[in-house]
Amino acid sequence: MNKEELQKIKKWLPRGYAKRIYLETGISFVTIYETMNGKARNKTVLDAAVAIAKEEKERVENIQNEVSTL
């Protein structure tokens, strides 16, 4: 995964995403941050990060839709 793709994922990750990935996978914070900064490759971390980013994007879009209907 290149740096541009990682930036797209990181754009949607909420604060505390690393702790959530750590709790779900047991992978160290160092590996999580290195993976998300393109210095390491870990498929498990990337899969978890993409899932969290999708959830966050959907949550933000739902909030925006609710606000627009007010």
pLDDT tens digits for range 9-64: 999 999 999 999 999 999 999 999 999 999 999 999 999 999 999 999 999 999 99
Task: Supply angle C-alpha 52, 54, 59, rounded to 5.
Answer: 95
Q: C-alpha angle with apex 7: 16 to 39, nearest 5 degrees?
A: 85
Closest by CA to 13, choosing from 44, 61, 54, 64, is 54
Nearest partner of 24 among 44, 54, 50, 1, judged by Cα: 44
Cβ atoms within 10 Å of 9's Cβ, excluding its own: 17
